[in-house]
Every structure is written in C-alpha cells, then in structure tokens.
Amino acid sequence: MQTLSQYLHQHATTPAVTAVMLALADGCRAIGQAVRNAAFTGQTGLAGSGNIQGEAQKKLDVLSNDLLAERLRSQPAVCAFASEENDSITLTPNPPHPGGVLVAFDPLDGSSNLDINAPVGTIFSLLPAPAAATVSEADFLQPGQQQLAAGYALYGPATVLVLTVDATVSAFTLDETHGEFILTQDALTLPAETGEFAINAANLRHWGDAIVRYVAECQAGRDGPRSKDFNMRWVAAMVADVHRILSRGGVFLYPADRRASAASGKLRLLYEASPMALLIERAGGLASTGHARILDIRPASLHQRVPVLLGARHEIERLNDYHTS
C-alpha cells in the first residue's frame, strides 16, 4: 500500500511539484467533504454571483475556489494561480524563484450535476514560474506540453485523484477513515480502439461536417461503414467522462460548432483541456481540436475556449482525418 506522499517522493521531478500536489490533494479532500455535506451546511444553490464566463456561480463553486486558493496562497512553491472562478490571476506572497510553480484550476467542474447528486470534480495544471521579478498573466499562456504536472479529483461514490508527475498516469483513492490518498492504479493505459463515444447530441444541428459524419457512422453501428456497434455515455462533467475513458477507454468530444457562442467550443484550454490532454496522451491516447494537438496550442488568454476531441488514439486520428478531408 502506497500513500500519495510516498508516491510523489518517488515519482515527482522536483520537491516543489510534490509540495504543490500535496496541497492540491488536501484541497480536493476538503472539497469532497464540502460537496458531501452541503445539505447540512447551507452550501446548496446559487451564490448570487457570476464568473467571467457568464456562468451563475453556485455556493459550492465559490467555496471550492476558496478551499484551493487558501492552500495555494500558503504554499511556498506557488508564485501565482489562476482559476475558472477568478477574472484574473492571483499573486501569492512568493516572488518567482527557481523551481517556482504556477497553478491553473477549475475548482468544481460539472457543477450543474450538484442539483442531481451526480459526480463533479476538480481539474488542475502546474506550469513553471517565469525567471522574472514578478508574475504576469502572460506567464500563464504556455502551451500545455510545458506543464510540470496535471491531474483531477473526481467526487463520485469514492473520491479519486488521478495525476501525472512523470511519464505515467496514476490513480489514488481517498481512504476516508484516515484522510489519506492511497495508490489504487498505476500506469493507466488507454486502448487505441473503442466502441464508446461521449458527446452532447442535443447540439447536433450546430455541428460541422466532420463531427456529424463521425457520430453518424458510430450510430450506424454494424450496419454502417464502421461495421461495429458503438455505445454512448454523457455524464455532463468532463472529469467524470475523462475518468471513464481512462478507466475503460472511449472518446470524449466537445467540438466547436456553428453558433457564434461556440465557435471555439465550450471547454477552457488552460484549466480543462490542457491538463486532461496531458493525462490522456501520457496514457497512450490523443487530444486534438480536430486541426491541432491541444498540447501544442499557445493560449492567447487566460479563459480561452478550445474544441476538445480526446481519447482512443485511432478514433482521434480518424476525427483529425475527417477534419482535413
């Protein structure tokens, strides 16, 4: 039995990554507890505020953000952080230093699921701090391949933490009795083939030709050009959909579509697409916009959206072909 702390001391590239990961894990443990106890603590419903994306914040969105911010602010390795719930970056008292870390996070992903007691999660990305006197927003705009580490927590029947700090992806389950994350799956790998896809099919009439073709061929099953039946799943929380894919394969699609509001898709590059792309690629899958590898994209702004097609290697290669043919 290996604890998260023991694992990180063996696998993480620097002591700073270990320290930040442990702080994030502690934040996720607290968020999981807050989510489970919300009915008794008054943390249900809307906060009465909105974030920069125009989304109505729930009380738990705000609390989760605070729980992570609190821990990151007092973490000596962290120089600044960016959150889905904050318009701009937050500087910590620690100026940039060698080995310093920037953190970008989505504190409570899929929070519309809270109303129905369905899974939600937290996504985080660690980037190197600049070699400068202070951190600015531009320092966060690094392509995803420069991430030092990334991961997510899923608050489901169990609280699970999935992360990558080296070339591999590992999963930890929270032992609620002792408050410790325990390694439960090492070196997760993603099969290149699948018979399962995930997409919000209500947007079908807005999709471009490549997505329409791909989904129609999956739906045609063994009677169509793919000559095999596909299954469809949609949890409506990216963390849970990606966790299913890392657990048993599949593809997850949140494409751009023809609506002006969805011209770049829905998901945010820095703290949703990039960390998930790193996990998926390190597990042997691919993550693409249809035209570009997500990890190669240099963000233009903190809350930039990006189309996301990720999962089984052969399926994403096929989707890339459909976008260029």
Nearer to Mn ion, 115 or 321 (CB): 115
Binding window for ligand F6P (CB under 6 A); candidates: 161-169, 218-226, 232-240, 311-319: 232-240
Q: Which of ligand F6P, Mn ion, none lies near 200, with the C-beta cut-off 5 to 8 A by kind?
A: ligand F6P
Any bridge partners for residue 160, and if so which? 154, 173
Note the maximum CA span of the chain.
62
The answer to whether residue 237 forms part of the interface with ligand F6P (CB under 6 A) is yes
Task: Please give the backbone phi and psi of residue 294, each rounded to the nearest 5 degrees, phi first.
Answer: -60, -40
Q: Has 50 been labeled as part of a binding site?
A: no
Query: DSSP secondary structure string, 55-109?
Result: PEEEHHHHHHHHHHHHHHHT-TTEEEEEETTSSS-EE-S----TT-EEEEEEEEE
Selected binder of ligand F6P within 25, 238, 306, 319 (CB under 6 A): 238
Rounded to the nearest whole angstrom, what is the least distance from the CB of residue 109 to Mn ion in the complex?
3
- Is 110 near ligand F6P (CB under 6 A)? yes
Q: Does 109 bind Mn ion (CB under 5 A)?
A: yes
If binding is defined by CB under 6 A, does position 17 make contact with ligand F6P?
Answer: no
- Give the residue closest to Mn ion by C-beta: 109
Q: Judge whether 266 is annotated as a binding position.
A: yes
User: 109 labelled as ligand-binding?
Assistant: yes
Residue 232 neighbours by CB under 8 Å, 6+ apart: 196, 197, 198, 199, 201, 218
Question: Is 272 annotated for ligand binding?
Answer: yes
**Annotation-wise, does 196 bind a ligand?**
no
The residues in 244-273 that bind ligand F6P, with binding defined as CB under 6 A, are 266-267
Q: Under the criterion CB under 6 A, does residue 196 sit at the interface with ligand F6P?
A: no
Backbone torsions φ then ψ of 234, nearest 5 degrees: -150, 110
Q: Which of 325, 276, 252 is nearest to 105 (CA)?
A: 276
According to the binding rule CB under 6 A, does residue 109 interact with ligand F6P?
A: yes
Is 267 annotated as a binding-site member? no
User: 3-class SS at 310?
Assistant: strand
DSSP readout, 240-299?
HHHHHHHHH--EEEE---SSGGGBTBSSBIIIIIHHHHHHHHHTT-EEE-SSSBGGGPPP
Residues in contact with Mn ion, shown as a per-residue x/- string from 58 to 97 under the rule CB under 5 A:
----------------------------------------
The one of Mn ion, ligand F6P, none whose footprint includes residue 236, by CB under 5 to 8 A per kind, is ligand F6P
The CB-of-155 to ligand F6P minimum distance in angstroms stands at 13
Residue that the structure tokens 């443990």 belong to:
29
Beta bridge partners of 288: 293, 309
In the bound state with ligand F6P, the residue whose beta carbon lies nearer, of 85 and 109, is: 109
Q: Which residue has the tokens 């070196």?
A: 187
Q: Which residue, among 299, 317, 306, 286, has the nearest Cα to 210 in the 3D structure? A: 317
| In the complex, minimum distance from the CB of residue 107 to Mn ion, in angstroms, rounded to a whole number | 9
Is 61 assigned a ligand-binding role in the annotation?
no
Q: What is the DSSP string of 134-195?
A: S--GGGG---GGG-SEEEEEEESSSEEEEEESSSS-EEEEEETTTTEEEEEE-S----S--S
Which one, 7 or 197, has the nearer CB to ligand F6P?
A: 197
Among 88, 136, 189, 200, which residue interacts with ligand F6P (rule: CB under 6 A)?
Answer: 200
- Residue 227 partner contact from ligand F6P, Mn ion, none using kind-dependent CB cut-offs of 5 to 8 Å: none
Residue 67 CA from chain centroid, whole number: 18
Residues that bind ligand F6P (CB under 6 A): 109-110, 200, 236-238, 241, 266-267
Residues that bind Mn ion (CB under 5 A): 106, 109
Numbered residues of the known binding site for Mg(2+): 84, 106, 108-109, 272
